[in-house]
Amino acid sequence: MATARAVNDKRRQVFKHALEKPYTTVWPSSSTETQTEILNDLCVALHPLSSYFAHTRRVSKAQHRRTRRRTSKNNTNPTSISTAHDQLSDPELKGKKMLDFVCIGINSTTRALERQAQRSTLHANDLALVIVCKGDVEPQLVAHFPGLAHAARSAKNDSVRREDKLRLVGVAAGAEQRLAQAVGQHRVSVLGIRAGHAELDVIVEKAQSGCSVPSVPWIGIQRGDPVFHPVCVRELQT
């Protein structure tokens, strides 16, 4: 015969029902092959940036040594340091020009999309492609990009929106390291591309044809007849 304590200690199974969140953002869809192809093309096209950033680091170190020698009491000729580091090679010059069409990092890309969402017409600084390394970063750090990308598109007029090429691509784990090596930085979680560069425009067109448009249904909707969607219910056993 079970004691009162044993009956009390025995937990009774309880089933709880959880409704799906009505405002769940869905990332634009694209095939794994398309994502891999875009990532491979970007790693090749962005290689001049690595040369340029390596040049800027050499120049910074040279300037630091120059400053130290100028402040040294034993230095009789502070201007004798070579300025050869200031000259750009062809790959470095190409990377410097490419930097005008690339936005690197979560914060800088977010600010660019926020400015883009405030304009109703196309602008030269508008981003045409945003690459997010979803598999390498915490989800909460990049969860705002689908809504922000949709807001940037929905802010445009109907006639302008058809010409807007903005695409958002979330890539799998391992992309962050590959992009960082291609760009020459320690870490690249998010990368924005602007239109106007010949090599990068080819990648933008590939993303435009192979990736869906960023869309968040409750942003920028017009009032009218209500639209009903099926509700998903999960049953949790506790």
* Nearest of 106, 91, 13, 82 to residue 52 by alpha carbon: 91
* Average pLDDT for 180-191: 95
Residue 47 burial (10 A CB sphere; 0-12, 13-18, 19+): middle
* Nearest of 130, 134, 139 to residue 204 by alpha carbon: 130
Lowest mean per-residue pLDDT among 2-6, 143-147, 180-184: 2-6
| Strand pairing class (167-171; 15-19) | unpaired
* Average pLDDT for 219-236: 69
DSSP conformational letter for 5: H
CA distance 114 to 94: 28
Structure tokens at 48: 């001049």
* Nearest of 182, 187, 178, 175 to residue 132 by alpha carbon: 175
Note the pLDDT tens digit of each residue in 194-211: 999 999 999 999 999 999
Q: What region does 139 belong to: left with phi over 0, alpha with psi -120 to 50, or beta?
A: alpha
Place of tokens 């398309």: 34
* pTM greater than the 0.85 cutoff: no
The pLDDT of residue 71 is above 80: no
Which of the two residues, 227 and 156, has the higher pLDDT score?
A: 156
The answer to whether 5 touches 229, Cβ cutoff 8 Å, is no
